[in-house]
Amino acid sequence: MPKSPGPGLARPPVKSERRIWKRFPIYTEVWCQPKTKGAEEKLPALVLNISRGGLKLVSAHKLDAGTLFRIGKANNGDRSTAALSARVVHVAPENGNMWSMGCAFTPKLDEDRLQEWIALADKEP
């Protein structure tokens, strides 16, 4: 009868990729505006990755799971991008009193809008 490997030799379970859309790493400053009655403040955040289905935000401002918000490019200058709509799906604490938020676009982005956001991030100084 074969022996099973010791605890140090066992492989960890492989985590399957469940994402539908390919994610693109970007690092771009944005503003977020929660869609709550009377909320007009635009909160600063960073986008760390983006896909047709959503994005990952990091901010000092926590948006709770389920929060609907608008997101736009900060310091857009003469370049024009319309604000996008998204919903926070999950929230996790990060180092330095920051929050990581996984967000889903409502509706999903088409390929042109996705490429527009990626191109804008590439042009940042």
The pLDDT tens digits of the residues spanning 79-98 come to 556 789 999 999 999 999 99
pLDDT tens, residue by residue, 28-56: 999 999 987 666 788 999 999 999 999 99
CA separation for the pair 67, 123 (Å, rounded): 30
H or E stretch at 73: strand 68-73
pTM: 0.76
Per residue in 78-99, is it b (16+ CB within 10 Å) or e — as a string?
eeeeeebebbbeebeeeeeeeb
Mean per-residue pLDDT over the chain, rounded:
82
